[in-house]
Structure 1
Amino acid sequence: MKGGKSTKKADTKLTVKKSAPKAKGAKDPNKPKRPASAFFVFMEEFRKQFKEENPGNKSVAAVGKAGGAAWKAMSESDKAPYVAKAEKRKKEYEKTMAAYNKKVADGPNEEEDSDKSKSEVNDEDDEEGSDEDEDDD
């Protein structure tokens, strides 16, 4: 068709592209969280101090901007305690990650997969079976 609009081009522009499923798999809720950097260790204290000095200010952005400015103004010697705390947390994280990775590599145990004991699982199976018998009546 000369001069007419092609519906193929219009269709491809209107279609929503679906993202492919993640190859990594679902996130494990038992995986340890990464430790905070020195700046975020500083911000933990700074937030408390800022809220005491500015009780009327509820803006998260204002706290972040003030904290960032304070961090930039600090000397390396002033930052040292926060860097030390961050390093300590990082070492603890590495230990817990090593234990976690070892646990994952060994494979999950059947007992750890479920919070229910085997008797509770069997009880549920029995209850489901009894419901089926009642439906037949």
Structure 2
Amino acid sequence: MAPLLSFPPVPLERLGLHELGEIPFGPPYYQLYWQQRPVLTGRYFGAEGLWALAERYFFCEEWHTLDRGKGPITSLLAFDLVEQRQCVVSHATRGFIRPVRVEGTTLIYEKTFLDRGTTTEYERDIQTLSAWQPLYLS
């Protein structure tokens, strides 16, 4: 299966997302690929990703359930590709969370709650991220 999405400037053969399926009447979900191999198997991701700080960090949404009745339950993840680690930036229960942009060292992201009809923007300094866990990509 060819990668559906990749996020510049990391070449396609290094990091990308492959579509795995779609929630009935909902958005598609993806598997993270590293050097054309699936990584973090058993975990599902949204379609949007964001690179920051000279391609050191990659931010994307992780889905914690594919059950339409229970979800969406999502988290915004930070991947530090230099230190090979990951952490949760924020959670959204019954909503979606997506990275929007980075200004300096500040990550701007949005939480959207469809049942409430609201979208709210948040900021987080990347340098204050904590609770890092090892990231095994190879």
Q: Same fold (TM over 0.5)?
A: no
TM-score by length of 2: 0.17
Bigger helix share: 1
TM-score by length of 1: 0.17
Q: Which has the higher contact order (CA 8 A, sep 6+)?
A: 1
Larger Rg: 1 or 2? 1
